[in-house]
Amino acid sequence: MLNSVSQAAEADFEALGARGCAFLGSKLPILAGAMSWVSERNLVSAMSNAGGFGVIACGAMPPELLAKEIAATQALTDKPFGVNLITMHPKLDELVQVCLTAKVGHIVLAGGIPPGPAVRAVKDGGAKLIAFAPALVLAKRFIKSGVDALIIEGSEAGGHIGPVSLTVLAQEILPHISEVPVFVAGGLGRGEAILGYLEMGAAGAQLGTRFAASVESIAHANFKNAFVRANARDALPSIQLDERFPVIPVRGLVNAGTKKFLAHQAEVVQKFQSGALDKTAAQLEIEHFWAGALRRAVIDGDVETGSVMAGQSVGMVTEIQPVAEILAELKAQAVAALVARGNHA
């Protein structure tokens, strides 16, 4: 009896995730969002092999390196995975060709409005195109331009963030978009929450933080242990000191580096005011502060001065677990929530 109850709940969960799974070619409608330095062959293949969907983070990689990373990932999994390209990469068109040549089925364009030529190249090459939609009007525009699926990422997420929470973005966008699958991201750490968004009409969910701290993630032990120790309130957006010098908000764990960044901005503003630096030079000096800082944290384990990008979901990282275990846990939580409603007796 109990067994048939949970089987029925499982079937309901599968039905809710069917559109997302069909789009991704996965068993679960869950993506491990691309994370620069973290989302490479090991995590991506582990994710896809475990029934989820891994995404390589191209970041600033040149085309030759991306080609190698894709080939190495394909050697570790025969399941589908995606590649995330940053739109302002100077060699975006070449990177798209690298993905198409390697027969990557899903390309995610992140970091701004997907440029027309890249959109056309992806579509002509037969890959599925996924874009981030920060607002409903843009979501509609992207669909018109040929985007095959959307991700809506709330400000709870780790890394570069927009100003609006997933709670609000989901309400603004999900009821109005049915043409393409929409995946939700930001602050998700448990299956009950994923279930809730599937019921609101999402096709699936993208998580980053929980997978960054997985066994298969190549992130340094210091980086993963910082995630285990941290609470949601420790993952804060970077602070802009002066309105004349914009700072792109990045959510990460507060550390000596984030505090030093404030002092650095104050120094640069001082130099600008005294005429020692012009505006452009001052802005560049502020931006250069974080150059190489994510690599320092992820690869070298410098969690004191490096950039420890993490979402508010970091509070739900309580141990370093294998990817398959995280996925099984998320699914079990969603199914248990369905069982608890008692509709399956």
Ligand X SMILES: Cc1cc2nc3c(=O)[nH]c(=O)nc-3n(C[C@H](O)[C@H](O)[C@H](O)COP(=O)(O)O)c2cc1C
Cβ proximity to ligand X, 17 vs 189, nearer residue: 189
- Footprint on residues 155-174 left by ligand X (CB under 6 A): 156-159
Nearer to ligand X, 12 or 156 (CB): 156
Pick the binder of ligand X from 198, 309, 326, 330 (CB under 6 A).
Answer: 309
Tell me the C-alpha distance between 249 and 236, whole Å: 9
Residue number with CB closer to ligand X (73 or 313): 313
The residue sitting closest to ligand X, measured at its beta carbon, is: 208
Sequence-separated contacts (24+) of 139-148 with Cβ below 8 Å: 139/173, 139/176, 139/177, 139/182, 140/176, 140/177, 142/114, 143/177, 143/179, 143/180, 145/114, 145/116, 145/119, 146/119, 146/120, 147/114, 147/119, 147/180, 148/23, 148/180
Q: Which of 310, 326, 334, 339 binds ligand X (CB under 6 A)?
A: 310
Residue of 26, 48, 84, 258 interacting with ligand X (CB under 6 A): 84
Q: Is 114 in the site for ligand X (CB under 6 A)?
A: no
Under rule CB under 6 A, how many of the chain's residues touch ligand X? 27
CA geometry: angle 190, 194, 195, nearest 5 deg? 115
- Which residues ranging from 9 to 28 are in contact with ligand X (CB under 6 A)? none
Which is nearer to ligand X, 68 or 244 (by Cβ)?
A: 68
How far apart (Å, rounded) are the C-alpha atoms in residues 272 and 295?
29
**Does 52 sit near ligand X (CB under 6 A)?**
no
* Binding status of residue 186 toward ligand X by CB under 6 A: yes
The label of the residue with tokens 């994370």 reads 35
Q: Is the CB of residue 154 less than 8 Å from the CB of residue 186?
A: yes
Q: Tokens for 263, please give them.
A: 């002092």
Residue number with CB closer to ligand X (32 or 335)? 32
* Longest CA span, the chain: 78
Residues at the interface with ligand X (CB under 6 A): 33-36, 38, 57, 59, 84, 110, 153, 156-159, 185-188, 206-209, 212, 309-311, 313
